[in-house]
């Protein structure tokens, strides 16, 4: 279990600034309340929503496939570009595990992405292995320009009226900043691996996120499309919300429902509050 996060005295979130902070009831189901004549979800005791990013908020596969083709085709590289994106992403967990296990010192995800890109290009051989350094450098920043799923911008804007919002991603801070600017998102903080000095699902990542917000873990909900991420957050005492992203892997690998018990399920492919297209529900 993670040690309890420190709670800054007197902190009241934006949706509760005129009332005292309510005690958290971890067993309470989501309820509905009317705000400005629009029904929205109220998650009892939760003051902040933190989000996984790759796959949950952004369509990394199609974004990387498109940008890889734009960068590499002029160099004479021919490929199935979706398969290229899968291969590059396929090196992701192994590289982070080398850091989590202590085989490598902590480094930003940009560094690991570049290592992985070089591995994939070398494995492809031929023209791919000869891609010049400036092209590699530029392509490596493709992860800073991933397009959001269509529902995300509106959903975040709706939630932000009530809750503190932040990414809790394995992406480095500069990557998260650029993704936010690319997709016109507005965060209250940027949290995750670089803040913690380690990679999810290590407990310290979730703990440091709560500490940075000055909130106890039950007042923070981790939202993700991946059950392993939510399981690790739940073990640290955070609340959990699941959304299925059926097309994350082009439909080839689908997590249609959470494999663990979660506090909230977002239905209809919409990450936003109830009544605004799709409805979050208690599982």
The domain segmentation of the chain, as residue ranges, is 14-58+146-281, 60-145
CB-based contact 47:19 (threshold 8 Å) = no
Taking 70 as the pLDDT cut, the residues of the chain under it are 1-42, 274-283
Q: What is the CA angle 156-221-12, rounded to 5?
A: 80
Fold match flag (14-58+146-281 vs 60-145): no
**What is the structure's pLDDT at 42?**
67
Q: What are phi and psi of 203, to 5 degrees?
A: -55, -30
What is the distance between the alpha carbons of residues 24 and 16, in angstroms, rounded to a whole number?
14
Q: What are phi and psi of 164, to 5 degrees?
A: -70, 140
Structure tokens that stand for 22 in this block: 């309510």
CB-based contact 270:245 (threshold 8 Å) = no
Instruction: Tell me the three state secondary structure of residue 122.
Output: helix
Instruction: Tell me the three state secondary structure of residue 51.
Output: strand
Q: Give Cα separations from 53 to 4, 18, 103, 169 (angstroms).
A: 25, 31, 25, 6
**What is the structure's pLDDT at 20?**
31
**What is the structure's pLDDT at 17?**
35
Residue-wise pLDDT tens digits, 69-101:
999 999 999 999 999 999 999 999 999 999 999
**What is the structure's pLDDT at 2?**
45
What is the distance between the alpha carbons of residues 186 and 161, in angstroms, rounded to a whole number?
11
Q: Give Cα separations from 26 to 8, 30, 215 (angstroms).
A: 21, 10, 15
**What is the structure's pLDDT at 4?**
40
**What is the structure's pLDDT at 251?**
84
**What is the structure's pLDDT at 96?**
98
Query: What fold does the segment set 14-58+146-281 form as a domain?
Result: Rossmann fold (3.40.50)
**What is the structure's pLDDT at 43?**
82
Structure tokens that stand for 61 in this block: 């596969």
As assigned by CATH, the class of the 60-145 domain is mainly alpha
58 closest CA partner among 171, 200, 203 = 171
Q: Which residue matches tokens 């000055």? A: 214
CB-based contact 185:179 (threshold 8 Å) = yes
């Amino acid at each position: 279990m993670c040690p309890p996060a420190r709670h800054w005295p007197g902190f009241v979130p934006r949706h509760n600034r005129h009332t005292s902070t309510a005690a958290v009831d971890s067993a309470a189901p989501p309820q509905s309340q009317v705000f400005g004549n629009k029904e929205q979800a109220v998650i009892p005791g939760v003051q902040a929503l933190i989000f996984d990013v790759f796959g949950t908020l952004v369509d990394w596969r199609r974004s990387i496939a498109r940008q890889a083709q734009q960068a590499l085709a002029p160099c004479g590289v021919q490929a199935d570009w979706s398969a290229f994106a899968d291969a590059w992403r396929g090196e992701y967990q192994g590289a982070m595990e080398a850091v989590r296990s202590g085989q490598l010192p902590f480094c930003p995800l940009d560094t690991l992405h570049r290592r992985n890109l070089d591995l994939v290009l070398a494995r492809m051989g031929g023209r791919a292995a000869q891609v010049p350094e400036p092209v590699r450098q530029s392509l490596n920043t493709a992860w800073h320009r991933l397009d959001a799923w269509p529902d995300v911008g509106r959903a975040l804007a709706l939630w932000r009226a009530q809750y503190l919002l932040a990414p809790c991603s394995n992406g480095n801070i500069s990557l998260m900043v650029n993704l936010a600017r690319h997709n016109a998102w507005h965060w209250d903080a940027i949290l995750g691996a670089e803040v913690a000095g380690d990679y999810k699902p290590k407990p310290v990542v979730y703990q440091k996120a709560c500490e940075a917000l000055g909130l106890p873990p039950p007042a923070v909900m981790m939202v993700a499309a991946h059950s392993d991420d939510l399981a690790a957050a739940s073990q640290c005492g955070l609340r959990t919300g699941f959304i299925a992203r059926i097309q994350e892997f082009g439909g080839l690998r689908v997590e249609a429902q959470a494999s663990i018990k979660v506090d909230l399920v977002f239905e209809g492919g919409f990450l936003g509050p109830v009544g605004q297209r799709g409805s979050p529900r208690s599982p």
